[in-house]
Chains A and B, each alone.
Chain A
Amino acid sequence: MNALEINQLSKSFPHFTLGPLNLALPSGCIMGLVGENGAGKSTTFKLILNMLRSDSGTISILGKDNRENLRMVQEDIGVVLDEVGLPECLNAKEVSAIMRRTFRNWNNAEYIRLLDRLSLPENKPFKDFSRGMKMKLGIAIALSHGSKLLLLDEATSGLDPVVRDEISEMFLDFTRSEDHSILISSHIVSDLEKLCDIIAFLHNGKLLLCEEKDRLLAEYALAHCTLEQLNALPAEAVRCAKTSPYGAEAMVLRHAVPAGIALSPISIEELFVFMAKEAKEQ
């Protein structure tokens, strides 16, 4: 079963249109939504959560339509937005008292364990938390009520590399269970590369690609060559290229490149930058 299914989703604003968007997140997987600022990542999250009304298309969360059954489904989803959104005057203990009365499956022991693991104080007001601490508290809440799906919009931004690594471990632990899935967006593509099974690229409201990460890394490579070699490459091999007076760097399909061209593995970040550039040129 797919934890999340988006079909032909679209939403228009005066200066921006998202979609039509089609995405499927299988249960047990982590999907990374990558895109520049204003690409439509947060809009996608808001449409999933019914905070915005779509112009067309359908969204199904854990097998249920988000417009008809969202409240029921919200018991099973943990959400962290780019701003956590807790009132500044509350502390972690008071948040627990509120969430205990909010979620039927609230697990206070797990919440206390996570606060301890993430070194979060129980009695300090939220307004005195650093951005990283705020995010960690949001993540602790999302993981303390038996969620089956985590929706994380820029949830790791503002965290230092050590904590990001620790949080990534927690997300990987979370998806060990087959019915647990994560949709995560981030600017820090290297984090997503470590974490995700599936990568989706959003650019200017359009989905450039949605593919298994391992397949992408196996399929694409970076070619370092001269301008003459670049021009001699078959057109179907080259997705996008950067040239300079000293040579060329191209994103290529491995299987279509003739022998003799030096290829190196491509990172997800490089792949995204090339694809965004290609989309801009078109």
Chain B
Amino acid sequence: MSGLLLKDFYMTIRYCRTYLFIAIAFIALSFASSNSVFFIFYPCLLCGMIPVNLLGYDERSRWSEYSATLPYSRAQLVSSKYLIGLLAQFAMLVATGITQALRGNRTALYQGYGLLPMLLMLFIASTITPAISLPFLFKLGAEKGRIAYLVMVAIMCAAIFVGTELIGDQFMRALHFQTILPLLCIAEVLIYALSWLLSIHFYKNREL
């Protein structure tokens, strides 16, 4: 599978170059700014989009069909996208972690939660997008998959809105974020693993 990862690495360097520049610029800005939640989160969110974009490029160049003629299983073809996404997210978390550690406790986010919880929040934020979108893309293809993903996000947002209205603000405020963060992380790992398995299942059954 190293061939697939190398191909995705080449593509990330070429096609997602702008993402990388933006990410580096935002990390630098997060270093300079005292209230830098947006600058810290945005690069990680961009990294989450890398596997989604690579799949779009694969379909446009018809690599999706050609790769099916190479000695790779469908599971490997799916896994390469999840792995390249994780590698990019890991690199971004390391870069953000080092920057924030160097900057010390001067940012609001760092002061509020500390380095490790902050990185865990970033991990959740960067992995949730590919975890939800990739199964749609592997099932329906890049174009239809993106539409299905947007519909899914709209439904989720509506459900969250209705949920908070029913439960009430007081309950939400009573939740201690530091306590539920590990639970959210475990849930995100499970969602990511489930997404991976689901994508393999969908892609194995998809006609190319």
Contact A86 B63 (CB under 8 A): yes
B71:A74 contact, CB within 8 angstroms: yes
If over half of B's interface residues share one DSSP class (helix, strand or loop), that class is named, otherwise mixed; here it is helix
Query: How many contacts between A and B, using CB within 8 angstroms?
Result: 78
The distance in angstroms between the C-alpha atoms of A81 and B67, with both chains bound, is 11
B71-A83 in contact (CB<8A):
no
B14 touches A74 (CB 8 A): no
Binary CB contact string for chain B from 52 to 80 against chain A (1 if under 8 A, 0 otherwise)? 00000110011111111111110000000
**Which A residues are in CB contact (< 8 Å) with B64?**
85
The stretch that binds B, out of A18-26, A97-105, A169-177, A230-238, is A97-105
Provide the main secondary structure of the chain A interface.
loop
Whether A87 sits at the interface, judged by CB under 8 Å, is yes
Option from B3, B69, B71 in Cβ contact (under 8 Å) with A98 = B3
The answer on a CB contact under 8 Å between A85 and B63 is yes
Would B69 and A49 count as touching, CB distance under 8 A? Answer: yes
Q: Is A31 an interface residue (CB 8 A)?
A: no
CB < 8 Å neighbour of B68 from A49, A101, A151:
A49
User: Looking across the interface, which residue of chain B has its beta carbon closest to that of A126?
Assistant: B61
Q: Give Cα A51 to B2, complex, Å.
A: 22
Contact A89 B15 (CB under 8 A): yes
Contact with A along B1-43 (1 / 0, CB 8 A): 0111011001100110000000000000000000000000000
Q: Which residues of A contact B (CB under 8 A)?
A: 46, 49-53, 71-72, 74-75, 77, 79, 81, 83-90, 94, 97-104, 151
Q: List 29 A-B contacts (CB under 8 A).
A: A49-B69, A50-B68, A72-B71, A74-B70, A74-B71, A75-B71, A81-B65, A81-B69, A83-B62, A85-B63, A85-B64, A86-B61, A87-B58, A87-B61, A88-B61, A89-B11, A89-B15, A90-B11, A97-B6, A98-B3, A98-B6, A98-B7, A98-B10, A99-B3, A101-B6, A102-B4, A102-B70, A103-B70, A104-B71
**4 further interface pairs, Cβ-Cβ under 8 Å (given A51-B65, A94-B10):** A77-B69, A85-B61, A85-B64, A102-B3
